[in-house]
Chain A
Amino acid sequence: MQYDKDYYSILGIPQTASEDEVRKAYRALAREHHPDSSEDPQTAEKFQELQEAYEVLSSPTQRQKYDHFRAQQGSDRSSAIHLRPVASHKTLLAMPEEQAYYVLLNIMPATDLPASRLPLNLCLVLDRSTSMQGMRLQQVKEATRQIIDSLQANDALSLVVFSDRAEVLLPAQSNIDKAMAKSIASTIQPSGGTEMLQGLLAGLQEIENTRSEDSVNHLILLTDGQTYGDEQGCLEEAQAAGRSQISLSTMGIGSDWNEDLLDQMAALSNGTSTYIDSPRKVVDIFKETVRSLGLVIARELVLSVNPSSGVRMHEAFQITPHIRRLDPQGNRIVLGPLGSDQGKAVLLEFRVEGLSSGQQRLMRITVEGDVPGQVDRRSWEWVELTAQVADTPDASADIPPPIVTALGKLAIFRMQEKAMADLEAGEISAATQRLETMATRLLNLGETDLARAALLEAGRLARTGDLSAEGRKKIRYGTRALSILPKEIPHD
């Protein structure tokens, strides 16, 4: 057994993989790297490595020994990713019924990472339909020119515009001639309708052309209109992009665009969707997006939970940088890229049932990331959570304030989700009531503007049976941003 070898990464499995997963991963790789299938001496070496990894990880006693040693070593090991869990309860009641258990997980980049910036592989996909005419397009061009100026030589950029069809204005390339690129951006003229899928396909193709092992692959899609008939295609492409580590920033300008679609596209690719309520904000939002891409240290974070029996994950949400519902695949959640300036906070809600008294292990949570700047680019850290299971409640135990704060904001986000679902189902009065309750909660948080918007829309809903396109977006994008910072009132 060689402790300095990462057998898990050799088999391409997480620390938390089950025996079955170990076996399956080994079989698939062994078939691929079998010495009989190749003359290459490297293949034989690789095959031997695989066998060694499998021998250790498939034997429970050897694996335990290996894990134990690696964990001890872990205190010296410099992981690029740090985990700080906060659990709602240190003591759980021994009872037959199910109970809730929450974990707020702060995922932070190590502070002592070398400040090397990963190369960007960026594509701008811009709507140039007739409705973009004037201020909107003018600002988008300005934003594009400023982005071009901010790029470094090893960054790749491509530029795609779309209306009824897509056009590649600047094919993907690094070492850009900035003057030339900016003059190309200045030639964009408005005309035609909005067919998003065309633009998206062309943009993703450009990104594929210049992607590398280390690049941060990102597509910014900006639109101001509804696309018709190709929504399903857009979602499928977004999902495929996410799988090949291309995240999408989807941006809607004005109020006549489909927030459900842009939102889902961003979520499927672990990107962000943004509501741009005024053209004046385009430049800042573009610049901020590109700036934060430049700070990405881990290209893809994956969180996996290995629960003890009797413990199961119920729901998962990202709390910061903005609130969104996460979509666990079994016990695995893809979180997207991690920037050096900002950690992520994730709230996991569990159901616990049938634990016997005493100190009980509840779960192990592992976060892994692909950190190209590091010697060992596959960085990971894990934590074990335990609780005392007792027959009497611990009266002195308080719920940690960060959990209460996170859940309080999440509660508002979820009411928004439910109000929209009610509305979708034609339950006008239920939706109205929810918006009103939401306004009260917002008022308590000091979120006066958003509370006012919610009340206004509740009134409109009761009168007309629908929300305004603008109010709908304000509420959706406002509630998800609740988590960002404690509200500061600007002094005038």
Chain B
Amino acid sequence: MIKCPFCGTAHVENTLFCSECGTYLLEDDRRGTDPLGTGEIGWVGSDEEGVAEASVQGSGPLAVRLRIGESGREIEVPLNKAIHLGRLDPASDVFPEIDLSEDGGLEKGVSRRHARILKREGTVVAEDLGSINGTFINGKRLAPYLPEALHDGDQLQLGKLLIEVELA
């Protein structure tokens, strides 16, 4: 018997998804994020391209579109509330809006609670949430808990995971 870490339902061995709550039962997300080693984290994105001018008009963008990692998976999320980025871990009650587990989040040093994107007075900002391996915008590392403006075309990096940002 195996037990769903999210809702506790018991399933027969080898079951892949919880039939009650849809949780993937093989994910070993209780592992903590390992520090990637000091000095190892540099900017892995390109320096030349993608740095856009700020263009904030009216009440600002309504949604943010993220193109994640090597897979290029795209997600569009409305900006009506803060968007948390991290790795889903039901066991410790972490439910980020954007779960980066499947994008190699663990290997690339993404914390469970890594960063968030939100709109503040019409400007979209990114904030590092005290992550172990850091958050970068276009190569610049953010100070933890100090939000920085995020622009259309910016490159966001969580640990070593690169995310392209589009504002709509």
Interface residues, chain A, with chain B CB atoms under 8 Å away: 88-89, 92-93, 95, 97-102, 351, 399, 403-404, 407-408, 410-412, 414-415, 418, 434, 437-438, 440-441, 443-444, 446, 448, 452, 487, 489
Q: Does B141 contact A (CB under 8 A)?
A: no
Q: Is the CB of B19 within 8 A of A414?
A: yes
Residue in A92, A351, A407, A452 whose CB lies within 8 Å of B17: A407
- Whose C-beta in chain A lies nearest to the C-beta of B7? A437
Given contacts A93-B13, A411-B18, A489-B74, contact A444 B26 (CB under 8 A): no
- Known A443-B77, A443-B98; 20 more pairs at CB < 8 Å: A97-B1, A98-B13, A99-B14, A102-B16, A403-B16, A408-B22, A408-B24, A411-B18, A414-B22, A437-B21, A437-B22, A441-B22, A443-B97, A444-B98, A446-B73, A446-B76, A448-B77, A487-B74, A489-B74, A489-B76
Top 3 nearest A-B pairs by Cβ distance? A411-B22, A99-B13, A100-B14
Interface residues, chain B, with chain A CB atoms under 8 Å away: 1, 11-22, 24, 26, 65, 73-78, 88, 95, 97-99
Q: Is the CB of A100 within 8 A of B22?
A: no
Q: How far is the CA of A480 from the CA of B75 in the complex (A)?
A: 20
Q: How far is the CA of A346 from the CA of B14 in the complex (A)?
A: 19
Residue in B12, B20, B65 whose CB lies within 8 Å of A100: B12
Q: How far is the CA of A438 from the CA of B76 in the complex (A)?
A: 17
Chain B residues contacting A95 (CB-CB under 8 Å) are 13
Residue in B11, B15, B75 whose CB lies within 8 Å of A446: B75
Q: Is the CB of A88 within 8 A of B16?
A: yes
Chain A residues contacting B98 (CB-CB under 8 Å) are 443-444
Residue in A89, A412, A446 whose CB lies within 8 Å of B22: A412
Chain A residues contacting B95 (CB-CB under 8 Å) are 440
Minimum Cβ distance to chain A for residue B155 (Å) = 18
Residue in A99, A415, A438 whose CB lies within 8 Å of B12: A99
Residue in B11, B21, B78 whose CB lies within 8 Å of A448: B78
Q: Is the CB of B17 within 8 A of A410?
A: yes
- Whose C-beta in chain B lies nearest to the C-beta of A487? B74
Minimum Cβ distance to chain B for residue A327 (Å) = 18
CB<8 Å pairs between A and B, sample of 19:
A88-B14, A88-B16, A95-B13, A99-B12, A99-B13, A100-B15, A100-B16, A399-B26, A407-B17, A411-B17, A412-B22, A418-B20, A440-B95, A446-B73, A446-B75, A446-B76, A448-B75, A448-B78, A489-B65
Q: How far is the CA of A439 from the CA of B14 in the complex (A)?
A: 26
Q: Is the CB of B12 within 8 A of A97?
A: yes
Chain A residues contacting B99 (CB-CB under 8 Å) are 444
Q: How far is the CA of A418 from the CA of B20 in the complex (A)?
A: 8
Q: How far is the CA of A250 from the CA of B162 in the complex (A)?
A: 46
Minimum Cβ distance to chain A for residue B21 (Å) = 5
Given contacts A440-B95, A489-B76, contact A351 B18 (CB under 8 A): no
Chain A residues contacting B14 (CB-CB under 8 Å) are 88-89, 92, 99-101
Chain A residues contacting B73 (CB-CB under 8 Å) are 446
Chain A residues contacting B1 (CB-CB under 8 Å) are 97
Q: How far is the CA of A446 from the CA of B100 in the complex (A)?
A: 12
Chain A residues contacting B88 (CB-CB under 8 Å) are 444
- Whose C-beta in chain B lies nearest to the C-beta of A95? B13
Q: How far is the CA of A53 from the CA of B40 in the complex (A)?
A: 73
Chain A residues contacting B76 (CB-CB under 8 Å) are 446, 448, 489
Q: How far is the CA of A440 from the CA of B97 in the complex (A)?
A: 7
- Whose C-beta in chain A lies nearest to the C-beta of B21? A437
Q: Is the CB of B13 within 8 A of A100?
A: yes
Minimum Cβ distance to chain B for residue A87 (Å) = 11
